[in-house]
Amino acid sequence: MKSQFIIKEATAADTHYAEVIVEEIANSAKIRGTGIAKRTPDYVAGKMAEGKAIIATTKDGQWAGFCYIEVWSHGQFVANSGLIVSQNFRGHGLAKQIKEATFNLSGKKYPAAKIFGLTTGAAVLKINSELGYKPVVYAELTQDEQFWSGCKSCVNFDILTAKKRQNCICTAMLYNPAWEKNQSPKRTQWKQRELDKDLKLFERWLKFKKTILLKRKDKNNGK
């Protein structure tokens, strides 16, 4: 299955895929019933033209997956955002390959930057953990106003505001290249058993967090 895809740095020649990517991101968020920072096709196309995105296609040119890079706090932080795999190609390790390619591109372009992401998904938590990310509190992420204003289009933005930007439904994960210098072996090497156990715990934690935060939100809305 892997060899059926081309995974590469996107360029201006790929901008015609922007519409289908944005549509898939929005549809998937609706299906999952989760919040999401909205992206426009122009924004996604811009990322491709700037060389700040990874795209996957089939060999005959069908779009398969995408992820892009955002730079915050004057280059101190990099976010790998908008990970999406076409519903036609899920469950074959494509997200893992795209995320790894985006992670490597981030390291190549911004070697000193901390790489982070916000996620509600167990798949992303797993992929990030394998890349060496660790869960962190929101205070360890960029405090760049522009980054957080991206959350305004998310259905859970009122929770983020009520929690004074210290918590929300998403889990924050961060990779710091400085860890490489102090750590042996180089990256956090998870034992599969530990990771599976932690993921089960994460899913239970997320469920609990949603119950508490969303219940409070409904109460405040008078439901």
Binding site for ligand COA (CB under 6 A): 28, 83-85, 90-96, 119, 121-124, 126-127
User: Which of 102, 119 has the CB closer to ligand COA?
Assistant: 119
Q: In whole angstroms, how close is the CB of 206 to ligand COA at the nearest point? A: 11
Q: Give the residue at shortest CB distance from ligand COA.
A: 95
> How far apart, in whole angstroms, are the C-alpha atoms of residue 54 and residue 138?
26
The residue among 12 and 62 lying less far from ligand COA, judged by its C-beta, is 62
Q: How far is the CB of 207 from ligand COA (least distance, A)?
A: 13
Count of beta carbons in the 10 Å neighbourhood of residue 184: 5
* CB closer to ligand COA out of 197 and 220: 197
User: Which CB sits closer to ligand COA, 83 or 105?
Assistant: 83
Q: How far is the CB of 6 from ligand COA (least distance, A)?
A: 15
Question: Quick one: which of 57, 75, 33, 74 has its CA closest to 206?
Answer: 33
SS (H, E, C) 64-109: EEEEEEEEEHHHCEEEEEEEEECHHHCCCCHHHHHHHHHHHHHHHH
CB of 181 to ligand COA, least distance (A): 28
